A = this chain, B = another copy of it.
Amino acid sequence: MTEALRQFLSGGAAARGGGPLYLRLRRSIESAVEAGVLGPGDALPSERDLADLADVSRVTVRKAVRDLVAHGLLKRRQGSGTFVALPVERVEQSLSVLTSFTEDMARRGLAVRSEFFDRGLYEPTSEETMTLGLSAGEKVARIGRLRMANGNPLAIERASLSGRMLPHPEELDGSLYEALDKVGARPVRAIQRISAALLDDSDAARLGVSSGAPSLVIERISYLASGKVVEFTRSRYRADAYDFVAELRLAESHL
């Protein structure tokens, strides 16, 4: 195996076109994975061995590997090694009709679990006061949870609500909307904003991906029938595991 790799590294890294060494090495490793010389889950040689094989310094190896880890091709485990990433089964979520996370996953035969890392009443930020239309002195209820499907962390959700809607957030256990339903504050409409950003270190750790991995950023504002804002949620979905799907009618559009 190391012999086949040598073709891609020592021969490959030097020969493969021009450019900086770390880029040539990066392409060499990519080629080795694409060619199947390294399969999913396989361990790469240690960074020190790679440095020897490719005849570059370890710093250069780390630069090449870092890029490939960021793009999701490789995974590093401290003290253990560097491995070709396992293919991730991606999960889809519809954007036209908002179905529940739990229902969505159940329909796909996935076991869902939530892990709360934050449930409590807090002094609101100015953003929360404005978005939720809080009155002076009113507290804000915050719910932070890690969403998992089949044991894999998929998303981080941080919801903010008026403390009046949810006076005991620490008792929340299952569905937030169910709890809202009980106090007659079930939203009927939501506006969702989708963007992308790199995960910060703590969110990356929670989601079990490398620091600096990309994520889908979802901000949702939910409204009551009266038009009043009930809930403001900011979520982070693992970009390597999640797709949002929308169906569009092309009315008078000229693209």
Contacts and interface: CB of A to CB of B under 8 A. Distances in A.
B177 A194 contact: no
A62 to B, nearest CB: 11
A189 interface: yes
Given A95-B95, A194-B194, A222-B250, 12 more contacts: A96-B96, A97-B251, A99-B251, A99-B253, A100-B253, A177-B255, A188-B250, A192-B247, A194-B243, A194-B246, A195-B216, A195-B239
A4 interface: no
Interface string A178-209: 10000000111111111111101000000000
Contact of A97 (B195, B215, B248): B248
A44 to B, nearest CB: 20
Interface in A11-61: 59
Interface residues on A, range: 35 or more
Contacts of A188: 249-250
Contacts of A117: none
A244 interface: yes
Given A195-B216, A239-B197, A175 B255 contact: yes
Contacts of A186: 250
A124 B188 CA distance: 45
B214 A198 contact: yes
Interface string A81-94: 00000000010100
A125 to B, nearest CB: 15
Given A197-B214, A253-B99, A192 B248 contact: yes
B248 A190 contact: yes
A101 B239 contact: no
B245 A191 contact: yes
A111 interface: no
A249 B191 CA distance: 9
Contacts of A250: 98, 177, 186-190, 222
Contact of A244 (B176, B187, B195): B195
Interface string A158-189: 00000000000000000111100000001111
A171 to B, nearest CB: 17
Nearest to A95: B246
B254 A178 contact: yes
A242 interface: yes
A69 to B, nearest CB: 11
